[in-house]
A and B are shown apart, each in its own frame.
Chain A
Amino acid sequence: MRGTIAIGFSCGIVCATVVWIIAHPFAWWVPVAGGIAGAAYALASPRRSPFEDIVSAAALAIPFWALVEVIVVPVLSGQTPKWTDVEMRALFPAFIGWLLFGCMLGAVLHVVRRLVPLAAHPVNAQPPLGPTRIVILGGGFAGMTTAAKLERALGSDRSIDITLVSNSNALLFTPMLAEVAGSSIEPTHISTPLRTSLRRTRVVRASVSRIDLDAKMVAIDSHDGTGLLRQLPYDHVVLALGAVSNFFGAERIARVALDFKSLTDAIRIRNHVIALIERADLEPDSAFRRALLTFVIAGGGFAGVELAGALNDFARGIVADYGNLHASDVSVIVVHARDRILPELSATLATYARERMEERGVRFVLESRVTDASADTVTLGTAEAIRAFTLVWTAGTAPNPLLTTLDVNRDRRGAVVVDACLAVAERGNVWALGDCAAIPDGRSGTYPPTAQHALRQAESLAHNICAALRGQPLRPFAFESLGSLCVIGHQLACAEIRLPLVGRKLLFSGVFAWLLWRAIYLSKLPGFDRKARVLVDWITELLFPRDTVQTIDVT
């Protein structure tokens, strides 16, 4: 760089003689300005063809003339800039002078650069160290956001290598999963491909089969479980493996119940409902037909209630296309262990949600559990047996069972206990967040395993990993929930928004809350293209009936 500046400066001084001759004979500042212009030009431009260099330098000499002759020199002489028409006409010889200076500078610099090759940059004698390897296990909200935030924090630092292992190649936006089951949104529109969202992270689609914390190694299988793919060594590992459904040991329920955690689950539920409605249309026995059209959902939390609302609208809506069926044949039942649904929301909103959903035909069985299930019957704790061919399980989740193989502290749920900085205290460079981490909230409890918290934890974790790499102090995670939103049916929702500084909660319900739900979740949906696709789906839904095409064989 110094060589470039020196060459440019020298060439500029030499070429400035033309300005001396034409405009300012022997003015001291002309070679200085010429030298500066030459150095700046040499720094700013790589060598091209001779003609290109000459013409480019001439073009750039014009704004340089304006800057130096019209503004800088008069101002430094204690005058006002010479930019009136009369003054600028008087400066026209200088204009010609600087333009020719540009031509000469381009030509001379081109020749000099050709004759005097600059010294090569000294080679770093030290052998380069291998990159620091960060392996993130899980491609959900927690894992994907951690990778994205790390990418942002690390910038162009090539000494860090990030790998994300996920058993899916896309991030599923779970708040809209019920809309997929209810056929409001095309399934792929709520999933953002990891490879288009992450730029420098190596995405590995595989299942994690073993984590060896002593050897700092992760073993991965192909995602379909057909065999060991390879082992990934790491320097830092992030446990973001998410959660799985928890059937509390009820194997018969686990065998017949439909899960509601993945995109495939939502697609399966939708197709299952369509298949049963098709079958019911041909069924002459009214009791059996009712059984076919009875959909039981275990769990009255967010997932269960949103799914119940979506399925209720979907099933009752599409029976209009079936001549032998009536909306009153459809029955959607929510079974919940507590005395009220939506324990995450205030009692007022929970009551509102139950009443509105009951008006729309959803039945709630509270203070009861699903104790057994077979292909055509769901048995409740009250000994009531509901004849139904559909049971969807949303009644409980547990952290990924792989965590039980790790020699670390776990809480009652099975989540890895971490400190406030999201680090596993007894293991160096092991971090955990999201559903599979028990993070102290500073009030003798732990943060709830929600997507909202996972996103913030990911941000904090990315910061802490970077801080650890740079030897800086870590930052403890602290976050107050911003509120909760739950859609309960067509243009109906409940919203509880916390005012950050005041600490008060604002409660909304009905159409406004529904609009709020859509606006907030649309803005949160990753990827501009996904936002556009979902928006088009929502508009299409206003104008046309929901799609009833079966996409997979569910039999």
Chain B
Amino acid sequence: MWAAACAFLIWIAACAAAIPSSSHATAGPRVMMDLVRERFPLLVAIVLASLPLGLAAGCVRRPASTGGAPRCSVARAVCGGGFAGIAGGWAFGKWMEQAGFFPLVAGLVRSDSAIVGVALHFAIAVVIGATFGLLFQREIRGLGSSLAWGAAYGILWWFLGALTLLPLISGHVPDWSYVHAAALFGSLVGHIVYGLIVGLLYAAVDGAWIWLFERSDPLNREIEGSGVSALSALVRGAVASVIGGLLFSIVMLMTGTLPRVARIVGGTSPAVGFAVHLIIAALIGATYGVLFHHEAIDDRAAVAWGTLYGLIWWFLGPLTLFPVLLGGTFTWTTTAASDQLPSLIGHMIYGIGLALVFRALERRHLQELFVDARLRRRWQRRRRPAGTSAPAVWLFFIGMSVVLPIVLG
């Protein structure tokens, strides 16, 4: 992940080097965007080059110790990741079926049968899921961070799979131009959704495994059951979401999207839309509390995880679930993404507001708990230590989530 984040930064630096030379004040935005788009193949190339470099660096220098993280196990990684891969593959398959993508996948084995494509798709999904477990088992400490790693891993596989390996194995020269990448924007969202499901399910399976076979051991018992802390995090998340939800509602009011939200429950008025929006915000906020309550150890991490979670819901909400709830189907296109750019900003603001208020509430709660030295020690054991690749995931996912819809649109 560090290598992928560096690749992104190098590409940004390359674009920066191009912009002053074109004298943006006179060239105009269209010309500048063309310059950036011209460098899109460079982004693909650098990201792909970073993968073996990152893998090699990771093999040479093992990731930093993650404190009280459970013991790593290859069997757990492969089984959990493989299972998660199947579920993620099923969700991604829905879009591939809709887009008629399966015969293209079948082309990898010189076939044009959709059934072969489906089988191959699931096989690939299982392999990617298993590698996810193997690569990131050490880094993942909970459902929230696993979601983030999953989404970033999905984006990496879009560069590697859809843009490169698929045409290469099918006997074509990979086309890394932004035009081709834009045509595969649906595949990008599919990869992200796939990554999110893989990340979530992998962490759930892994967590259940650890809970059943390690934490249930009385010798490893914590003084406060996980159920108690999760429930209180759920409530704090829901409370914190009110601020984030209100900030987001300003964006919705300005863009006139509240009546559309009201259509979910068959209404049309902005007031109904506002109520529905706040309920959804509270539900998402509650899940943030449960998913990330061991992750945000300082305000910096809180803003980063909050932004990331907001962006995840931009992919899941307006691009995926919202059209489905209105009786349509996914809108994983650059046009839809361009239309939803104000919502992207709104989701980021929502995420930041939610995360900061949640952090403030949690800090107050922890100050009370930390009078008990046992709870302080437990918290220190469970929280994410310095040195993991979380900042790289923040940069890679947040950067790509903002850059790709803008550049490919």
- Nearest-Cβ distance from residue A476 to partner chain B, whole angstroms: 28
Contact with A along B253-270 (1 / 0, CB 8 A): 011000000000000000
Q: Of residues B255, B386, B391, which shows the largest number of chain A Cβ atoms within 10 Å of its Cβ?
A: B391
Are B352 and A63 interface neighbours, CB within 8 A? yes
Asked, given contacts A156-B368, A200-B372, whether A56 binds B406 with beta carbons under 8 Å apart, the answer is no
- Nearest-Cβ distance from residue B222 to partner chain A, whole angstroms: 11
Asked, given contacts A22-B19, A49-B387, A96-B16, whether A89 binds B406 with beta carbons under 8 Å apart, the answer is yes
Q: Contacts of A59 on B, CB cut-off 8 Å?
A: 304, 307, 391, 394-395, 398-399
The yes or no answer to B208 lying at the interface (CB within 8 A) is no
Stretch at the interface among A77-85, A288-296, A310-318, A349-357: A77-85
Number of A-B contacts (CB under 8 A): 142
Q: Contacts of B219 on A, CB cut-off 8 Å?
A: none
Q: Contacts of A48 on B, CB cut-off 8 Å?
A: 386-387
The yes or no answer to B179 lying at the interface (CB within 8 A) is no
Q: Contacts of B19 on A, CB cut-off 8 Å?
A: 22, 93, 96
Q: Contacts of B345 on A, CB cut-off 8 Å?
A: 66, 70-71, 81, 83
Contact with A along B377-408 (1 / 0, CB 8 A): 00000000011000110110011001100110
Are B342 and A84 interface neighbours, CB within 8 A? yes
Are A66 and B348 interface neighbours, CB within 8 A? yes
Are B371 and A83 interface neighbours, CB within 8 A? no
User: CA separation between A56 and B359, bound complex, in Å?
Assistant: 18
Q: Contacts of A528 on B, CB cut-off 8 Å?
A: 227-228, 231
- Nearest-Cβ distance from residue B38 to partner chain A, whole angstroms: 13
Residue on A nearest B397 in the bound complex, by CB: A59
Q: Contacts of A70 on B, CB cut-off 8 Å?
A: 345
Asked, given contacts A93-B32, A155-B368, A199-B369, whether A44 binds B303 with beta carbons under 8 Å apart, the answer is yes
User: CA separation between A187 and B398, bound complex, in Å?
Assistant: 54
User: CA separation between A21 and B369, bound complex, in Å?
Assistant: 49
Q: Contacts of A199 on B, CB cut-off 8 Å?
A: 368-369, 371-372, 375
Q: Which of A56, A63, A84 contacts B341 (CB 8 A)?
A: A84
Q: Which of B32, B342, B386 contacts A92 (CB 8 A)?
A: B32
The yes or no answer to A375 lying at the interface (CB within 8 A) is no
Asked, given contacts A43-B299, A92-B32, A200-B372, whether A21 binds B391 with beta carbons under 8 Å apart, the answer is no
- Nearest-Cβ distance from residue B74 to partner chain A, whole angstroms: 28
Residue on B nearest A62 in the bound complex, by CB: B398
User: CA separation between A22 and B33, bound complex, in Å?
Assistant: 14
The yes or no answer to B66 lying at the interface (CB within 8 A) is no
The yes or no answer to A67 lying at the interface (CB within 8 A) is yes
Are B370 and A55 interface neighbours, CB within 8 A? no
Q: Contacts of B406 on A, CB cut-off 8 Å?
A: 85, 88-89, 92, 95
User: CA separation between A312 and B5, bound complex, in Å?
Assistant: 73
Are A55 and B392 interface neighbours, CB within 8 A? yes
Q: Contacts of B251 on A, CB cut-off 8 Å?
A: 81, 83
Contact with A along B22-49 (1 / 0, CB 8 A): 0011000100110010000000000000
Q: Which of A25, A97, A99, A152 contacts B399 (CB 8 A)?
A: A99
Q: Which of B29, B398, B399 contacts A89 (CB 8 A)?
A: B29
Q: Contacts of A63 on B, CB cut-off 8 Å?
A: 303, 307, 348, 352, 398
Interface residues of B, dominant DSSP: helix
User: CA separation between A44 and B407, bound complex, in Å?
Assistant: 31
Q: Of residues A49, A55, A70, which shows the largest number of chain B Cβ atoms within 10 Å of its Cβ?
A: A55
- Nearest-Cβ distance from residue B308 to partner chain A, whole angstroms: 9
The yes or no answer to A218 lying at the interface (CB within 8 A) is no
Q: Contacts of A344 on B, CB cut-off 8 Å?
A: none
Q: Contacts of B98 on A, CB cut-off 8 Å?
A: none
Taking CB atoms and an 8 Å cut-off, the chain A residues in 262-286 that contact chain B are: none
**A interface, size bucket:** 35 or more
Are A90 and B402 interface neighbours, CB within 8 A? no
Q: Contacts of B328 on A, CB cut-off 8 Å?
A: none
Q: Contacts of B13 on A, CB cut-off 8 Å?
A: 100
Q: Contacts of B407 on A, CB cut-off 8 Å?
A: 92
Contact with A along B322-341 (1 / 0, CB 8 A): 00000000000000001101
Q: Contacts of A46 on B, CB cut-off 8 Å?
A: 298
Q: Of residues A63, A151, A156, which shows the largest number of chain B Cβ atoms within 10 Å of its Cβ?
A: A63
Residue on A nearest B395 in the bound complex, by CB: A59
Q: Contacts of A88 on B, CB cut-off 8 Å?
A: 341, 406
- Nearest-Cβ distance from residue A201 to partner chain B, whole angstroms: 9
Q: Which of A22, A52, A62, A71 contacts B20 (CB 8 A)?
A: A22
The yes or no answer to A60 lying at the interface (CB within 8 A) is yes
The yes or no answer to B220 lying at the interface (CB within 8 A) is no
Contact with B along A163-204 (1 / 0, CB 8 A): 000000000000000000000000000000000100110000
Q: Which of B2, B12, B391 contacts A56 (CB 8 A)?
A: B391
Are B33 and A89 interface neighbours, CB within 8 A? yes
The yes or no answer to A512 lying at the interface (CB within 8 A) is no
Q: Contacts of A89 on B, CB cut-off 8 Å?
A: 29, 33, 406, 409
Are A55 and B5 interface neighbours, CB within 8 A? yes
Q: Contacts of A151 on B, CB cut-off 8 Å?
A: 368
- Nearest-Cβ distance from residue B358 to partner chain A, whole angstroms: 15
User: CA separation between A56 and B394, bound complex, in Å?
Assistant: 7
Q: Contacts of B36 on A, CB cut-off 8 Å?
A: 92
Are B300 and A95 interface neighbours, CB within 8 A? no
Contact with A along B360-378 (1 / 0, CB 8 A): 0000000111111001000
User: CA separation between A405 and B259, bound complex, in Å?
Assistant: 74
The yes or no answer to B9 lying at the interface (CB within 8 A) is yes
User: CA separation between A83 and B348, bound complex, in Å?
Assistant: 13
Are B12 and A99 interface neighbours, CB within 8 A? yes
Taking CB atoms and an 8 Å cut-off, the chain A residues in 45-77 that contact chain B are: 45-46, 48-49, 51-52, 55-56, 58-60, 62-63, 66-67, 70-71
- Nearest-Cβ distance from residue B255 to partner chain A, whole angstroms: 8
User: CA separation between A100 and B402, bound complex, in Å?
Assistant: 15
Are B370 and A156 interface neighbours, CB within 8 A? yes
- Nearest-Cβ distance from residue B315 to partner chain A, whole angstroms: 16
User: CA separation between A41 and B391, bound complex, in Å?
Assistant: 14
Q: List 26 A-B contacts (CB under 8 A).
A: A41-B300, A43-B299, A44-B300, A52-B386, A52-B391, A60-B394, A63-B303, A63-B307, A63-B352, A63-B398, A71-B345, A80-B254, A81-B254, A83-B255, A83-B341, A83-B342, A84-B341, A84-B342, A85-B339, A86-B29, A95-B403, A99-B12, A100-B13, A156-B370, A196-B224, A529-B227
Q: Which 8 pairs between the two chains have the least Cβ-Cβ distance?
A: A44-B299, A45-B300, A90-B29, A85-B338, A59-B394, A59-B395, A83-B342, A156-B367
Further 14 A-B residue pairs, CB within 8 A, beyond A55-B392, A59-B399: A59-B391, A59-B394, A60-B304, A66-B402, A80-B254, A83-B344, A84-B341, A92-B33, A95-B406, A96-B12, A96-B19, A151-B368, A156-B370, A529-B227
